[in-house]
Structure 1
Amino acid sequence: MRLLVAQLREHHIDTPEERVRVAVDGVLGVPSRGRLLLVHDDEKAIGVAYLSFVWALEHGGPAAWLEELYVVPERRNDGVGTALLHAAMGVARIEGCVAIDLEVEASRARVTSLYRREGFTQHARTRWVKTL
């Protein structure tokens, strides 16, 4: 929970912690919704990723949305993000996904280079959202 909330706050997303907890419980209770991946170092959580599963017409079948990938600031550039991404791609393959989608804030050059290096391609799209 702590890392997911830290990720959201770093991106100026103020979802209340209780709502994040409800969402996490929903994923843990229904594995077909997605997977949470956690990286530990000496009993301390240092990275987290969340994959959500969707049926995507664009990809012609099951796909994963890499909604979150977060590494604590003091462990960035240590390969933790790359390891999390590889683990997420492995989970997506095991689940039969044919693609992984994700989004990156324009100011996040470091993580953009990671995704490029791992074979992701950038789409010229803008994401829109409306809270219901």
Structure 2
Amino acid sequence: MLVRKAKSNDLDSITEFQRVMARETENIELEHSTVYRGVSAVLEDATKGQYYVAEKDGKVIGSLLTTFEWSDWRNGTVLWIQSVYVVPEFRRTGVYSSLYAHVKNRVLHNPDLKGIRLYADKSNEAAQKVYRKLGMTPDHYLTFEWLK
């Protein structure tokens, strides 16, 4: 399995992954053109974030997005992992672990990067188990949001 930065030719795969993930996790049907433009925006402008993909035998089988949080307490950037998706037949085969290890390696070797954060639905015990297995711990913050 190869883990790499996503390229423009990964646009269709990542767009479809996001639509399927919304359907699976929240029973939401996302508008294709909106997601397509959203993924395109990241692929065209690295200041918005960075997608990484896992590829096996030339086929993209998983992806995640990192975005940035400036931490004045740490005088550096914390990467947020979001939009994680692994093709069902490749789940529980180390795809997410490999993607996570790739991101963690970036943080370990870049003094400007200070850590990794992500959020998981409280009811998604399978995801929480994976995150704990990789050495992540629940933090002491609650996440609140207001979305238009």
Name the counterpart of 2:135.
119
Cα distance 1:104–1:58, how it changes in 2: closer, same or farther (>3 A)? farther
Give the C-alpha shift of residue 114 in structure 1: 2.0
TM-score (norm 2): 0.76
Contact 1:4 1:48 in 2 (8 A): no
What amino acid maps onto 2:25 in structure 1?
H
- Normalised to the residue count of structure 1, the TM-score between the two structures is 0.84
Superposition map of 1:1-132 within 5 A: 1-12=15-26, 13-57=28-72, 59-93=74-108, 96-132=112-148
For residue 108 of structure 1, what is the amino acid of its counterpart? N
1:7/1:94 CA distance change after superposition, 3 Å: farther
Residue in 1 that maps onto 2:9 = none
CA distance in 2, matches of 1:93, 1:50: 18
Distance 1:10 1:126 in 2: 24
- Report the number of matched residues: 132
Bigger shift: residues 34-43 or 120-129: 120-129
Distance 2:63 2:94 in 1: 13
Quote how far apart the aligned CAs of 1:58 are.
5.2
What is the alpha-carbon root mean square deviation over aligned residues?
2.1
Identity value in percent: 24
For residues 86-121 of structure 1, give each alpha carbon's deviation from its aligned partner in whole angstroms, at most 9, with x where no partner exists: 112233445531011101112322221221122211
Unaligned segments of structure 2, at least 5 residues: 1-14
